[in-house]
């Protein structure tokens, strides 16, 4: 019979997310994880088996949180496509600006570092699909007689543009410039969704 865990698993995963987000997977050791989580190496091994298993659990938690953030942003009533997209971009830019260390996005950082791994690809793809679905649903509320088959493509474009904004923030672009870029893109997307 397995022993009950003697630590708060959600707090441990949150601490692991922070370490992996700042250092990346390869540069984070089990000793580092033990220090930041305040859980002994033995307990980490017993709970997760390997650093990789712990990383995947932390990465899933992060990606689920990012997708949930977008779903929450898109959950309200939407009447204007341009404003819906602009509000989404603003929320992403605000999130980036809230971190002085310009760490970017753990999802994007991990795709860069480990994107050829099938488990990383599956977790990333599922999170991005949730974001795109939430955006497509919100945009569907704002369009009239437009072919709604276009909405998945438009929502994929919006998510991809938000990822570009995150990367621009990471390399030092300031929030005001990012907002100008986001507003211009939102305006173009809004116009593209107007009935002909």
Interatomic CA distance for residues 59 and 20, integer angstroms = 9
For 172: left if phi > 0, alpha if psi spans -120 to 50, otherwise beta; the answer is: left
Interatomic CA distance for residues 96 and 101, integer angstroms = 9
Tens place of pLDDT per residue across the chain (196 aa): 345 456 789 999 999 999 999 999 999 998 999 999 998 888 898 889 999 999 999 999 999 999 999 999 999 888 899 999 999 999 999 999 998 898 999 999 999 999 999 999 999 999 999 999 999 999 988 876 566 668 899 999 999 999 999 999 999 999 999 999 999 999 999 988 876 5
> Nearest-CA neighbor of 166 among 116, 71, 98?
98
At 180 the pLDDT is 97
Interatomic CA distance for residues 120 and 21, integer angstroms = 14
Interatomic CA distance for residues 68 and 62, integer angstroms = 10
Show me where the domains of the chain are located.
60-192
At 2 the pLDDT is 46
At 18 the pLDDT is 95
At 78 the pLDDT is 83
At 145 the pLDDT is 59
Alpha helices in 115-174 (DSSP H): 118-140, 151-170
At 66 the pLDDT is 96
């Amino acid at each position: 019979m397995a022993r009950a865990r003697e630590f708060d698993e959600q707090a441990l995963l949150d601490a692991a997310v922070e370490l992996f987000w700042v250092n990346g997977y390869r540069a984070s050791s089990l000793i580092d994880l033990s220090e930041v989580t305040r859980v002994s190496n033995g307990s980490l091994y017993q709970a997760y088996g390997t650093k990789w298993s712990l990383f995947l659990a932390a990465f899933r938690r992060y990606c689920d949180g990012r997708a949930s953030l977008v779903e929450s942003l898109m959950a309200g009533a939407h009447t204007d496509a341009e404003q819906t997209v602009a509000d989404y971009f603003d929320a992403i830019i605000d999130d980036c600006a809230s971190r002085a260390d310009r760490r970017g996005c753990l999802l994007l950082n991990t795709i860069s570092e480990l994107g050829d791994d099938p488990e990383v690809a599956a977790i990333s793809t599922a999170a991005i699909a949730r974001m795109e679905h939430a955006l497509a649903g919100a945009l569907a509320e704002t369009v009239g007689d437009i072919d709604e088959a276009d909405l998945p493509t438009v929502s994929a474009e919006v998510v991809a543009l938000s990822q570009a904004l995150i990367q621009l923030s990471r390399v030092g672009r300031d929030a005001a410039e990012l907002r100008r870029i986001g507003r211009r893109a939102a305006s173009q997307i809004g116009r593209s969704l107007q009935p002909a």
